[in-house]
Chain A
Amino acid sequence: MAMNPMEQFKIEPIVPLHIGGYDVSFTNQSLVMVAIVAVATLFLSFSVSSRRLVPTRLQSMAELSYEFVQGMIQSAAGNDGMRFFPFVFTLFFFVLFSNFFGLIPGVFTVTSQIAVTFALAALVVLTVIVTGFLKHGIGFLKLFVPHAPLPLLFLLVPIEVISFFTRPISLSVRLFANMLAGHTMLKVFAGFVIALGGAGGILTGLAIAPMLLIVAISALELLVAFLQAYVFAVLTCIYLNEALHLHGH
């Protein structure tokens, strides 16, 4: 039994694999990622049939997800943001399923790894940069020049540049830290339950307190899991909107 709350974030190889001198073993994390893809594919593709007038529950959920992400993109990035629909949808679902899967006891939390969240955030910022330059050419650099008097620009442009390039950090650390903190907290309180339960006497009875707390925190974590996926996707939409329309034109 692992009492160390960090134990749950440890990546353990299942099938050792080395390609070009790199250790790319199939790990407990890889297993969950593959499971996410499998479940998401089943949910999003095979539950949907256009022949049904009245959708099944699963199809209804898939349709709601579709319209949810569609609405998110359209409100944040306008209609020409819809070309990023598959990208934002994939991002949202990958993060959402990672967060939800992590809440199943014993299942590894993919998004509790900074490598994963940073890679996703970097992918977002890279997409923004490529889109911006493809759409506006060198004019995309105007993104860093806000409407302000010239003397102020000497101050504002560096700030804009810094804020732009810290985006991948804030985007990835927000998700990573939320997942890490939530799961650590759950594990710590679970440790209390075991320690108190084994202590005997009146302390055994007290074990109910952290137990109830775990139940409450689990509900909170469910909300956080959804909220963080939503925040990640919405921020992606907002950044893409800037790349498409510069200063909100």
Chain B
Amino acid sequence: MTRADSIAPRAATAAPRHRAQLRDWAVATALALIVASAAFFVHRNREFREREEHRAHAAAVAVARGEPPVSPVDAAGVVSPATPSPRYPFLRQRTFQPVGEAAPRALGGPCAPALDKLVYDAATRFDATGPFKGFLPDGSGRVVAAVAAPGTPGGVAVAVSTPPSGPEPYPWLTFVGLIGLGGVIAAAGALLGAWRRPTLLALGASGLAVPTLFWTGPWPAAIIVGLTTLVATASARGATDRWAEALRAHRVALAFLAPAAIAMAILVATPFIAGLVLGFYDHDAGSWTFVGLDNFGHILSGGGKGFDDPGNFWFVLGVTVAWTAVNVVLHVALGVALALLLRQPWLRGKGVFRMLLILPWAIPNYITALIWKGMFQSQDGAINSLLDYAGLGGDVSWFSSWSTAFTANVVTNTWLGFPFMMVVALGALESIPRDLYEAAEVDGASPLQRFWHVTLPHLRPALGPAVVLGSIWTFNMFNVIFLVSRGEPGGSTDILVTQAYRWAFERDEYGMAAAYATLIFLILLLWTVFGTKVTRKEGTP
């Protein structure tokens, strides 16, 4: 009787326990599988690169010795040293002795095969840097290799490998086998109970670490073991049970969230993380090389340029901060001033004024920027005509000096930016009870005192967030800089976002551009945290 009593509750709890063990093992295995797959792809790509490079290199070495290439090639042979062309001495000619053909032929010419240029360039690169091997930047997966050819004085043996066969397939069978085995081990742990439960759970999910050891060495394996141990520990302490419980309790909320959350994870998180990672790479003609913190070091050290050089990050940052500060101050000053004018109770045509004054906000800002760029033209721009008309001299070349170009940008951005501040200020002013002013007036407060003690405190809670928002918009006002001054003169009016764009799409330095974007992100993050803290403090009475 007592025996049955003592067994019954254990049996009742045993079933969910098994399920919990299975669940935690599945989570740990999923994590391990992600790491193992990543390790496999790294290994596969490296293997592929080494194999193909070796293939082309071996072919080139064989050609250099005067033997047929040891592996299939698209082109292989010995290139002669460059000699000046008899008719045009500034042109350099090379002849090419393809393997297995009787006589050498000139490289290039009207009917030359497309590969001739590759071979010629490879020989030139060999002359400059010595023996090399590398993938062609055409995405075909072919490798070109060049080594010295001792048979011909100054000659270069060049081989271009054939397009490679497909890479190693994804190791489905290995993974399925290991996961099955791991499942059995974890289940055994659940049956044995006590400390064997988490231990065998970790062991069962760690099986995937074994192939990674052969692929990429100890690091991914260590990560897998670490992750599974973490899950097993959480499982042993009941943390996974609590998480599962929380998931179950909030499953409706999570289901509602899922569409947007999944879309964000794919559309935003992927490029965001890709951007962070790219900052650690150097990009050259389609191939990426890990360079650690070099990009950041290069940017933060100013790239060896002076602080007054537009190529220096700190110069650009200074311009950006000046740009943001000047604009926000002008926007707020103009916006608040206009709002105060529009607040006069005796003013007629308020609605019309308001409608006309927010016109710049309604116009798409790239159109505004293009219009102002036209107006600031030195030849037949409207601004110069106006200046001329006013007798102030109408021949300013707006984009050839920093101060005038910066002014042109600021004028444009103030024109398009003040309505937002004005509208926010108007809204805030409407919320001020009139009694307050009457009371202040009765107490004999001067207009200035009334502004300082009544109006301003009421404006602050609304203007604070608006200033944070406006400063972020201005900090990133790509369109105005890019379309009005184009960074002229010499990139000196560029702000951080347009510089990042130039690194990416004008200089093709993707790694530097990504590092720039990361730094911009960090600056904005700091500013937002700081800004919201300050406005919160002010917002609370």
The reply to whether chain A is a binding partner of chain B is no
Binding site for A on B (CB under 8 A): none
